[in-house]
Structure 1
C-alpha cells in the first residue's frame, strides 16, 4: 500500500515530530505517572479493591465506562503464558476473556511459532477506571499482549515489574516499523489473535497496521480487525465482544467491512492526529480542566459492585480452580522456537477458527 502524501508530509519536519511522539508513546506504554486521583473518585475507589465480587460474571457498561462482577484471575504462570506487572493487580477479567487468553497462548505456540505470551493489563478485580495507563479495560473484555516473546524460564517477580518494553518502531523515522525487531512470527501472532470469532478489535500502532497492510500475504479476511491507534508499539490490545447473555454490556459499533488499508489508515500519516491543540483566542477564557470521573458517572449498578461481598481469596477466584496457579507454576516453560524457521506458509489450524495463513 502506498501513501502518496508521505513525501509531502516530510515538509512538516517529521523527524522532529517523531521524537516527540516517540517519547509520548513510550511514556503511555508503561503507564506514566499521572496526577493522583482524589480519594472519592471512581479511579481511587475501584483501584482500592483487591478482590472481585462473589456471584456470576457480568460486564456492566462500556469498555471505557463500566465495571464488572464475578471476575476471575489469569493464573500468574501457565505452560504458554506469564503474567506481567503483578503489583498492579490487573490480571482479572470476564471468564470469556481469560479463557481466550489461555487458548490463544497455546495456539500461538502451535500455529504461530511463538514460544508463549507475556500478558500485560487485563482489568482490576471489579473493573472500573484505572489509576493510570488506560481509559478502557473497565469491564474485563480487554487485554494487552506484549510483542516480547515469553522466555524459556520463569521470570522472577522483580523481573516482571522491571522488564523493559521493546518498541517495534524506528526511533529516527516517523511511524516506521523497525526491520531489525519486526518478524514474520509477530505478524502471524497478530493474525492468529484476529482469527477468533469473539475478538472484535485488536489495537496496534498505525505503523504496525501499515506494515501488515503492505506485507501480509495470507488470508486477509480478519485484517480489518487490526485498528490503528496512538501508542501500542510494544504491545497489542485485544478486545472481545460482549459475551452472549450479558444484558448489561454495551457493545461497540462493529468494525467496518474491508481490510482497513484505506483512508482510515492514511489519516494517521497526516499531521492532523499529531497536531497540538489550537491555542485559545486572545481574551478567551481558558478551557476548564476535565472533571474527574466519579462513581455516579458510571452505570448505576457499579455503586453496588463496589459494596458487594468479596470472594474468599485470590486463589479461590483464579481461573481453573483454586489449585490452578500452583499447578501451572510448576509446569516447564515452553522452549523458544526459531523465529521463522520450519513453519509452513499455510499450516494446520483449528477447525473452529478461520484460517490464519
Structure 2
C-alpha cells in the first residue's frame, strides 16, 4: 500500500525522531501509515488525510529490515486483554522514553495512545512531566502511537485543533477511567459514526490531475 507520503514537515519530524531514538540507544521503530500520494481519505483511518499524521509502531525489538521483511511485520499490542493495562512482559521504560522523545518535538500537536499506555506514563516519575499534556488517551492505539503535527506555518488554509487541556491530563484520566478528557465519552466507544466529509475544492482539483508517471 502506498501510505508513506507526507508533508515535508512530517518527513522532517520522522527524521528528527529517528535521530533521537538512535542517539538514545533505544533501537529501531517501524514507521507505519502516513498518507496517500495526494492525501485524502484513507481506509482504516479517520485522519491521515493531509500529510500531518504518522503511526509509529511501539516495537523496539527489531533489527534494521529490508523492505520485504518490513512488509511482513505484524503489530504487537502492549495492552493485556486480561487486565486492560499495559502488559508488564512487553511494556518497558524504553517505550515510555520513545513516546516522550516524540512529544517534546515542537512541531507535535498531540500523540494518541491507548488509555492504558497513558496511565502507565502517568504512573512514572518524570523530571519534567509537561509533555504528558500532548499525549491523548484514545481508543485502540495499543500497538502504535499516532503522532499529529501542527499546521505548517505557511499554510493559511490549514486549521489547527485546539490545544489539549492544560496540565498533564493524568488526574482526569485516573478520575474518569477510560474517558478521554477532550471528549468526555469512553474515548469513542459507541459514538455515532461521523458522516463522510466533503473534500475541499482544492482537493478536488488535485484529484483531477493525471497520475504521475
Q: Same fold (TM over 0.5)?
A: yes
Shift of 1:190: 0.5
Partners of 1:219 and 1:275 in 2: CA distance: 30
Matching residue of 2:156: 247
The 5 A counterparts of 1:277-356 are 293=196, 297-312=198-213
Moved over 4 A (4+): 274-278, 309-312
Q: Of residues 105, 109, 127 in structure 1, which corresponds to 2:18?
A: 105
Partners of 2:53 and 2:174 in 1: CA distance: 22
Structure 1's 149 and 261: CA in aligned 2 closer, same or farther, altered over 3 A?
same
Q: Does residue 121 of structure 1 match 2:27?
A: no
Q: Report which structure shows greater RCO (CA 8 Å, sep ≥6).
A: 1
Deviation string 1:127-163 (CA, Å, 9 cap, x unpaired) is: 1111x21000000000000011262242452x33332
Query: Looking at CA atoms only, which structure, 1 or 2, has the larger radius of gyration?
Result: 1
Partners of 1:150 and 1:246 in 2: CA distance: 38
Q: Does residue 168 of structure 1 match 2:69?
A: no
Shift of 1:217: 2.2
Deviation string 1:312-339 (CA, Å, 9 cap, x unpaired) is: 4xxxxxxxxxxxxxxxxxxxxxxxxxxx
Structure 1's 166 and 276: CA in aligned 2 closer, same or farther, altered over 3 A?
closer
Structure 1's 274 and 307: CA in aligned 2 closer, same or farther, altered over 3 A?
closer
Shift of 1:230: 0.2
**Equivalent position SS for 2:55:** strand
Shift of 1:219: 1.5
Shift of 1:274: 7.9
Deviation string 1:268-326 (CA, Å, 9 cap, x unpaired) is: 437x6289759xxxxxxxx9x975x37xx1112111010125544xxxxxxxxxxxxxx
Partners of 2:143 and 2:96 in 1: CA distance: 13
Contact 1:115 1:151 in 2 (8 A): yes
Uncovered stretches (5+) of structure 2, i.e. residues with no partner: 180-184
Q: Does residue 91 of structure 1 match 2:4?
A: yes
Contact 1:205 1:228 in 2 (8 A): yes
**Equivalent position SS for 2:146:** strand
Shift of 1:204: 0.3
Uncovered stretches (5+) of structure 1, i.e. residues with no partner: 1-87, 279-286, 313-357
**Equivalent position SS for 1:104:** helix
Q: Of residues 101, 105, 109 in structure 2, which corresponds to 1:200?
A: 109
Partners of 1:258 and 1:179 in 2: CA distance: 27
With normalisation by structure 2, the TM-score equals 0.88
Q: Of residues 152, 169, 188 in structure 1, which corresponds to 2:97?
A: 188
Partners of 2:11 and 2:187 in 1: CA distance: 35
Structure 1's 226 and 252: CA in aligned 2 closer, same or farther, altered over 3 A?
same
Structure 1's 225 and 89: CA in aligned 2 closer, same or farther, altered over 3 A?
same
Deviation string 1:202-255 (CA, Å, 9 cap, x unpaired) is: 000000001100113232121110000000000001100001110111211111
Structure 1's 125 and 276: CA in aligned 2 closer, same or farther, altered over 3 A?
closer
Contact 1:168 1:178 in 2 (8 A): yes
Matching residue of 2:45: 134
